[in-house]
Amino acid sequence: MHALRAPREQLRRLAWFTATGLLGGGCDLHTKAWAEHTLAGRPGMSMAVIDPWLELSLSYNRGTAFSVIRDLGAGRWVLGVVALAVVVALVVILVRTRADRVDALALGAIAGGALGNGIDRVFRLAPGGGTGVVDFVKLNYPWGGSWPVFNVADVLVACGVIVLLLRRALDRSTHPPATAPSSG
């Protein structure tokens, strides 16, 4: 009975991971399509949600995160493959570690974000040619300026990473590593 329990638990974790990844990636792609459809016809391609702090503002990121590298061209295929490699690596981590359900959900969120932005980066046609990731959530600072425009995939990745880091930090604080006895 114990021999069957481990594979069954692993399947459950994999199911949570897969459901979270697919749901998250699907929500990301759906909200991007909604943003394109809704915001493209508005003046300035934006809409105030909580004026002046939060607005929806359509933009196309043709580069990497925070537009560090712009106009990737054929490099978008490389980043698309990297996104798939990230998902495979997350599955391996899930299967080979003692990940629990919360870890599976966090890893699934990261996978969903990687898939959403990876698919967008490779296939979404941007105005003026080329492809680009749709970003549309804009947080404005009270003192002026704003955080870089982002999307649901970015939130999924950030939340997944934060959950994993917090769990590891809390785990270390409640279960400090054992120290070797001193000889003397």
Query: Catalytic residue numbers?
Result: 135, 154
| Cis-peptide into 52, omega within 30 deg | yes
> In this structure, are residues 39 and 58 in contact, taking their beta carbons and an 8 Å threshold?
yes
For 131-164, give one letter per residue: b (16+ CB within 10 A) or e.
Answer: bbbbbbbbebeeeeeeeebbbbbbbbbebbeebb
Overall size of the chain counted in residues: 184
